[in-house]
């Protein structure tokens, strides 16, 4: 398994350099459009057929592109999948950041309330993009993707759990483990539910229960 599985090679770098003439700009625009069409097509094909059954020929046909153009922008099918995952996670991170910032600006300081705001936003993102959330949680991905998924979810949960500080300025590891496990299970269950209304009710109920979690060893009452 490649150690670079979580680094999409098809990522476009925007360095703000000056373009010389219109032709390079048009070429760049066409390349970006092709790349976007390939990602959109890959998302549809993966969600319809799963990663294992998806064919590169189906993706390029749906995108109106060529196999050569796909390999110009991406290393292959796995690279497309991982790039979609990175984009989904970037959106989830932004949802979480905005939700926590909003409640902070409203005057909230309680760590659990801040955590719930961020975690709720993450779950809501899974509901709003249920097709890709289900794709990534289903286990049908490139070899080694399950490790990438666990690492990313743990990183997200730990970053939010870092809201909970101990008296010496550290982070309460026991609470981090509890919250990380709870959110991993919540994401999985909510993403895989067929009934969207039931998934939303479950998300609300889970966050309600998470909100009751307390650590008597570190919490000052």
The tens digit of pLDDT for each residue in 7-33 reads 333 333 333 343 444 444 454 778 889
Q: What's the predicted TM-score (pTM) here?
A: 0.78
The tens digit of pLDDT for each residue in 27-59 reads 477 888 999 999 999 999 999 999 999 999 999
**Residue whose C-alpha is closest to residue 189's, from 141, 127, 104:** 127
The tens digit of pLDDT for each residue in 121-175 reads 999 999 999 999 999 988 899 998 988 887 887 777 677 667 777 777 777 778 8
Nearest-angstrom CA–CA distance, 110 and 207: 15
Does residue 210 contact residue 116 with C-beta atoms inside 8 Å?
yes
Count Cβ atoms below 10 Å from residue 72 Cβ, excluding itself.
14
21: phi then psi, degrees, rounded to nearest 5? 95, 170
């Amino acid at each position: 398994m490649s150690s670079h599985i979580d680094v999409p090679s098809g990522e476009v770098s925007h360095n703000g350099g000056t373009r010389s003439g219109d032709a390079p700009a048009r070429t760049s625009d066409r390349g970006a459009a092709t790349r976007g069409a390939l990602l959109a097509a890959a998302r549809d094909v993966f969600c319809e057929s799963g990663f294992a059954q998806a064919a590169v020929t189906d993706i390029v046909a749906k995108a109106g592109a060529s196999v050569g153009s796909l390999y110009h922008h991406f290393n292959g099918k796995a690279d497309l999948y991982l790039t979609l995952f990175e984009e989904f996670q970037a959106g989830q991170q932004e949802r979480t950041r905005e939700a926590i910032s909003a409640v902070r600006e409203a005057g909230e300081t309680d760590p659990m309330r801040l955590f719930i705001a961020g975690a709720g936003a993450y779950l809501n993102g899974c509901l709003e993009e249920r097709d890709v959330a289900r794709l990534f949680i289903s286990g049908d991905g490139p070899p080694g993707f399950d490790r990438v998924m666990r690492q990313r979810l743990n990183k997200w949960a730990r970053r939010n759990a870092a809201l909970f500080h101990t008296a010496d300025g550290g982070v309460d590891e026991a609470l981090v483990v509890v919250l990380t496990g709870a959110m991993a299970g919540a994401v999985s269950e909510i993403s895989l539910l067929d009934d969207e209304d039931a998934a939303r009710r479950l998300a609300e109920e889970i966050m309600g229960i998470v909100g009751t979690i307390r650590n008597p060893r570190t919490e000052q009452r």
